[in-house]
Amino acid sequence: MADELRETYYMSWRGREGWYIQVPFSRDGKRLVWRKSVSNASYGGTKSSLKQIALALRDEKMHELEVHDPGLGIYHRQKSHRNTSGFVGVRLSEEVRSGRTYLYWEARWRKPDLKIARKVFSISRYGFQRAKQLAVRAREKALRRRAKAANTR
């Protein structure tokens, strides 16, 4: 897991200091968030040792809840009402170059460093359905690879 996620941050409150963890997830179509604070009063230690405890707790909870998209689980694991492909992270894209229009299916996902990765499949090369199928498979494969890498850390 990437250490710096917006759901894990250091804060001070009522004379205590510590890390605050949030793991967004969905269950039965409802958006939920698991929260936990790791304070110096409860766990003792330095800021960096508390951070290691907080990250370990977060990763353990993410594994337990089967969340593979840290920080984005609550936002991107459910299909948007604007989704026309039927698959999260897959869209039909159009690009105009030199007056010519190119259509392709595009798969997008976040890498462990939280940068966006994408892979495109041309409709003129693969056909409409095959390009869409390849985009869906590419996204699923990338998410499985990332989840596997996260679980081996």
End residue of a domain, out of 73, 106, 123: 73
Would the pLDDT of 83 be above 90?
A: no
Question: Phi and psi for 25 in degrees, rounded to 5?
Answer: -155, 170
Q: What is the pTM of this model?
A: 0.52
Residue from 94, 83, 101 nearest 139 by CA: 83
Question: Residues for the chain: how many in total?
Answer: 153
C-alpha–C-alpha distance, residues 46 and 142, integer Å: 36
Q: What pLDDT digit, counting tens, does each position of 114-126 carry?
A: 788 999 999 999 9
Same domain, yes or no: 145 and 92 = yes
Residue of 84, 88, 57, 83 lying closest to 73 (CA atoms): 88
| Beta sheet of 16-27, edge-to-edge order | 8-13, 16-27, 30-39
pLDDT digits (tens, 9 = 90+) for 132-152: 999 999 999 998 888 777 666
Task: Mark which of 73, 108, 127 sits at the end of a domain.
Answer: 73
Number of structural domains (the chain) is: 2
Domain end (from 40, 73, 106): 73
Structural domain contains residue 18: yes
Are 49 and 105 part of one and the same domain?
no
| 69 plus 104 within the same structural domain | no
Whether 89 and 130 share a structural domain: yes
Sign of CA dihedral 141, 136, 113, 10: negative
